[in-house]
Amino acid sequence: MKFSLTNSMTLEIFPIKINKEIQRDEKIVDLILSSSKEKIQDGDIFVISQKIISKQEGRIVNLSDVIPSELAIGIAREYNKDPKLVEAILVESKRIVRMYNEIIIVETHNGFICANAGVDESNVENGHATLLPIDPDKSALNLQTKLKEKTKKKIAVIISDTFGRAFRMGQTDVAIGIAGMDTIIDYEGTKDNFGKILRVTAIAISDELCSAAELVMGKTKNCPVAIIRNYKYEHIDSTIKSIIRPQNEDLFR
C-alpha cells in the first residue's frame, strides 16, 4: 500500500504474513525476517501486533485455572460476563474507570485506559485469553535490538493494539510500546502557513502509524506485522509513557 505524503515522498506499507501459530519463546525476529518479502532498509518502521508478542512471552491465561473473587462474581452477574474473565481483567487492572453495558473500562498497571485491560479471547485457543505484555517498551526494545543486529539497519519498532476512543465509534490501532523513535511530533512554537505561532499542536505519530499499518494487517489476514517505509523520523530513545496523558490533565477520567 502506498500513500503520497508530498510531491517527493511516498509512504509505503508492506504486510508480513505469518502462517503459523506463535508459541512461547518463539524466535519472532527470525520468523519476521524469513516471512518478509522486502529487503530491510535504513529507516524502516516495524509495526508488530501485541497479540504475537503476548503469545511469545507466555502472556496467555487458561480461564479454567482462574478462581474468581467475590468482586469478580458480582461484576460478572451485573454486566453479563464470565466471572473468570472478569477476574483476569481485575488482576491486570490498576483501577476501574467505568462499567456500562457489558463493557469494563480500566486503567492498566502500565497506565493504559482501555476496555477489559487488554484481556482478549480472540485469535487464541478456546477457553484462553491473552494479556498485554508486562513491559511493552522493553518488548519493543528487545525486538529492535535483535532486528538491528540481524539486518545491520537503523530501524524502529512499534507494538500496536486495538483500542476504542472516547466520543467516537469503532476502534483504531494505537501504540503500546515503542523503540527507536518518538511517540509525538510537537509543533508548538512553529509557524503555520499564515505566520501564526502554533501552541497546542502535538501529533501522536506513533498511533497514526499503527492505524495506517492496520489497514494492511487486518484482524483475519494472518498479517501481524507490517513494515512502514519512507516515513522520516529521528532515531531517538523514547517510551510509551510520553504519549499517556497525565491524570491531572485528563478531562474525561
> What residue spans define the domains of the chain?
2-54+134-243, 61-129
Name the fold adopted by 61-129.
CofE-like fold (3.90.1660)
Q: What is the Cα–Cα distance from 211 to 203, expressed in whole angstroms?
A: 13
Length of the chain: 253
With cut-offs at 50, 70 and 90, classify the pLDDT of residue 204: very high
- The model's pTM: 0.91
- The pLDDT of residue 218: 80
Q: Does residue 68 carry a pLDDT above 80?
A: yes
Q: Does residue 4 carry a pLDDT above 60?
A: no
User: 138 near 145, Cβ under 8 Å?
Assistant: no
3-class SS at 146? Answer: helix
- The pLDDT of residue 19: 87
Name the fold adopted by 2-54+134-243.
60s Ribosomal Protein L30; Chain: A; (3.30.1330)
C-alpha distance across the termini of the chain, in Å:
37
Question: Across the chain, what does the average pLDDT equal?
Answer: 91
More confident residue, 163 or 7: 163
